[in-house]
């Protein structure tokens, strides 16, 4: 708690003067709770990364999918289920928050997190894991609603710093979650003692899910006590005025065609990057978990937890410390292109890694993490300034990007899983290398998409 308070104060000092809420109250308590909500959200989401692949493989084999291809295909399908739930229901939850207030939706999301994380740890069949992950995504619109909450209580001067706080909590969550997930997996073997019994041996993935669920429950209790409503009743939309969630989904996707060419290109660059990144996210642990004699690295859940915690650390360093001075010194567009190139290089390098030395594995992941850390803020900066320069509604532009980006996050895991399934036991050009080569080429496609893109003068002057 003290750390989070200090973190928020630091953001306020570095990004401008802090103002009181319209009723004269102190904003730090709501910001603290929002920080914790997003942090715990990301810990819960990323905590499953080190073991989800192994868990789904176990469930698939128990359900009769014994060959590597058909078994591993389910990893991508389960990963996509979470994003599909978010894609379909986040606009609905966002619309409800406009109608009934932010606080009830945030509390609902925390309850959904608690229930479905614990249920996932107890899943005993593929259908159950698939359903629970879908419901977890469907019930959790906290990131979008948190951003709306911050918009309610922030002036235009405060908004960048407070949105930066959300980005920082993303990075911290991605660093903490995989580390905890790897450490707490299979406690019967790792810790023994009270866990050395048949039940824990039969549920090796339950403890990290329980831990994350308890964190979410604590966040829920804090939010009940300390998080006030941010949207006054007089500013809420009536049912007739409120656009339906499914209609928003369609409008976000169709609306891309009405944007100017530069904004459209930036949105498609982001979509191609996310497609490549989620393809890697799906198959990386399939590769690291593969036995050494078959070309993999033979890593377990704990080793993968260390790797993804390292990725989160690099992301925090780049986005939290390096991006500001870099954008002051170098052209933002060039940094975006560099980010794409570094990521593409790291993706293509993955299948050529060896189990040792471990530092070389971390070096490859540094390229990916640093590339992502450069790409995300620079692409967002360019998109924002281009939208403003073209007198476009920023909400509409961001909605279009989120819609297409969500499609990429749904399609990416499925494409990757099916490519892996068809090539993992292949020979020649069509082997487990194929999916990583494809991901690298799709990332490079982003460089080609932005080729010849004409930026407005305001974008050039932004930095």
- Cα 132 versus chain centre, distance: 18
* Cα–Cα distance, 373 to 348 (Å, whole number): 18
Q: How confident is the model at residue 6 (pLDDT cuts 50, 70, 90)?
A: low
- Residue position matching structure tokens 């973190």: 7
Residues ≥6 apart with Cβ < 8 Å to 212? 40, 43, 44, 47, 113, 117, 177, 180
The pTM assigned to this predicted structure is 0.80
* Cα–Cα distance, 124 to 47 (Å, whole number): 19
What's the confidence (pLDDT) of residue 418? 92
Question: Mind listing the domains of the chain with CATH numbers?
Answer: 1-11+26-229 (1.20.1250.20), 243-463 (1.20.1250.20)
- 100-124 burial, b at 16+ Cβ within 10 Å, e below that, comes to ebbbebbbbbbebbbbbbbbbbebe
Residues ≥6 apart with Cβ < 8 Å to 56? 74, 75, 78, 126, 129
User: Comparing C-alpha atoms, which of 305, 13, 19, 321 is closest to residue 180?
Assistant: 305
Per-residue pLDDT, averaged over 51-80, amounts to 90
Q: How confident is the model at residue 448 (pLDDT cuts 50, 70, 90)?
A: very high
Per-residue pLDDT, averaged over 65-76, amounts to 87
Q: Is 94 exposed, middle or buried (0-12, 13-18, 19+ CB in 10 A)?
A: buried
- Using alpha carbons only, how large is the chain's radius of gyration in Å? 22
Q: How confident is the model at residue 28 (pLDDT cuts 50, 70, 90)?
A: low
Q: What is the pLDDT of residues 83-117, one digit of tens each?
A: 888 888 877 887 788 888 888 988 998 999 899 99
User: Comparing C-alpha atoms, which of 222, 182, 269, 200 is closest to residue 35?
Assistant: 222
Q: Is the pLDDT of residue 302 over 80?
A: yes
| Range ranked top by mean pLDDT from 222-226, 348-352, 375-379, 400-404 | 348-352
Percent of all residues in the chain with a pLDDT value above 90, rounded to a whole number = 37
What's the confidence (pLDDT) of residue 378? 87
Q: What are phi and psi of 242, to 5 degrees?
A: -85, 125
Compute the residue count for the chain. Answer: 463
Q: Is the pLDDT of residue 25 over 60?
A: no
Terminal Cα distance for the chain, rounded: 35
| Bond preceding residue 91 cis, omega within 30 of 0 | no
* Cα–Cα distance, 90 to 127 (Å, whole number): 23
Q: What are phi and psi of 11, to 5 degrees?
A: -60, -40
Residues ≥6 apart with Cβ < 8 Å to 436? 280, 283, 287, 347, 348, 350, 351
């Amino acid at each position: 708690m003290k750390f989070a308070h200090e973190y928020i104060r630091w953001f306020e000092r570095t990004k401008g003067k802090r103002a009181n809420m319209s009723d004269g109250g102190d904003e730090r308590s709501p910001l603290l709770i929002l920080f914790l909500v997003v942090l715990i959200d990301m810990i819960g989401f990323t905590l499953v990364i080190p073991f989800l692949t192994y868990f789904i493989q176990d469930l698939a084999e128990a359900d009769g999918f014994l060959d590597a291809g058909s078994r591993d295909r389910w990893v991508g399908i389960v990963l996509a289920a979470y994003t599909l739930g978010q894609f379909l229901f986040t606009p609905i939850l966002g619309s409800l928050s406009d109608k009934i207030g932010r606080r009830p939706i945030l509390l609902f999301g925390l309850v959904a997190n608690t229930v479905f994380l614990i249920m996932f740890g107890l899943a005993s069949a593929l259908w159950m894991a698939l359903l629970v992950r879908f419901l977890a995504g469907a019930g959790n619109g906290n990131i979008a609603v948190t951003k709306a909450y911050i918009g309610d209580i922030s002036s235009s001067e405060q908004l960048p710093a407070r949105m930066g706080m959300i980005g920082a909590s993303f990075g911290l969550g991605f660093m903490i979650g995989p580390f905890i997930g790897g450490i707490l997996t299979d406690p019967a073997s790792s810790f023994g003692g009270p866990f050395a019994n048949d039940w824990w041996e039969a549920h090796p993935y339950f403890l990290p899910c329980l831990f994350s669920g308890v964190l979410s429950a604590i966040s829920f209790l804090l939010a009940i006590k300390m998080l006030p409503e941010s949207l006054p009743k007089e500013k809420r939309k009536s049912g007739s005025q409120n656009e339906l969630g499914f209609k928003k989904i369609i409008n976000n996707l169709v609306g891309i065609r009405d944007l100017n060419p530069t904004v459209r290109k930036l949105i498609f660059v982001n979509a191609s990057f996310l497609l490549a990144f989620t393809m890697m996210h799906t198959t990386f642990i399939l590769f690291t978990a593969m036995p050494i004699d078959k070309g993999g690295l033979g890593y377990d859940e704990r080793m993968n937890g260390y790797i993804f915690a390292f990725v989160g650390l690099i992301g925090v360093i780049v986005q939290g410390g390096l991006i500001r001075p870099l954008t002051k010194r170098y052209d933002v567009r060039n940094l975006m292109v560099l980010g794409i190139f570094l990521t593409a290089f790291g993706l293509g390098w993955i299948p050529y890694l060896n189990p040792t030395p471990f530092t070389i594995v971390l070096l490859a992941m540094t390229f990916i993490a640093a590339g992502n850390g450069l790409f995300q803020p620079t692409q967002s900066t360019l998109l924002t300034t281009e939208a403003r320069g073209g007198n476009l509604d920023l909400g509409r532009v961001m909605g279009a990007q989120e819609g297409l980006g969500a499609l990429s996050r749904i399609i990416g895991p499925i494409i990757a899983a099916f490519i892996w399934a068809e090539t993992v036991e292949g020979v020649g050009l069509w082997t487990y290398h194929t999916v990583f080569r494809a991901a690298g080429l799709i990332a490079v496609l982003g460089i080609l998409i932005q080729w010849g893109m004409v930026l407005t003068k305001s974008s050039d002057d932004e930095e």
